[in-house]
Amino acid sequence: MLSAIPAVPAFREGDEVVLATGTYQGTQGVFLRLREDAAWADIAERNGSIRSHPVAWLAHSASTQ
């Protein structure tokens, strides 16, 4: 049976996110945009940095679910 749920959760500009896996696991931030390579996204981190992370590492923050 096919699932209608996407393999990667959809993120929209302004969504509160957290790095659920990877080197910086637990880092919180705000989703800004997908990069040209849609497997990567720009995130505004709480410390003011804007960094790119793999979309597969992201999850919606528990406070917004």
Predicted local confidence at residue 43, as pLDDT: 97
Find the angle CA(18)-CA(36)-CA(20) to the nearest 5 degrees: 15
Q: Which DSSP state fits 64? A: G
User: What is the rounded distance in angstroms from the CA atom of residue 30 to the CA atom of residue 39?
Assistant: 17
Strands (E), the chain: 16-19, 28-34, 40-45, 50-54, 58-60
pLDDT tens-digit readout, 8-52: 568 999 999 999 999 899 999 999 999 999 999 999 999 999 999
Predicted local confidence at residue 25, as pLDDT: 94
Cα-based distances in Å from 12 to 2, 38, 48, 56: 25, 13, 19, 15
48 token code pair = 């003011």
Percent of the chain with pLDDT over 90: 74
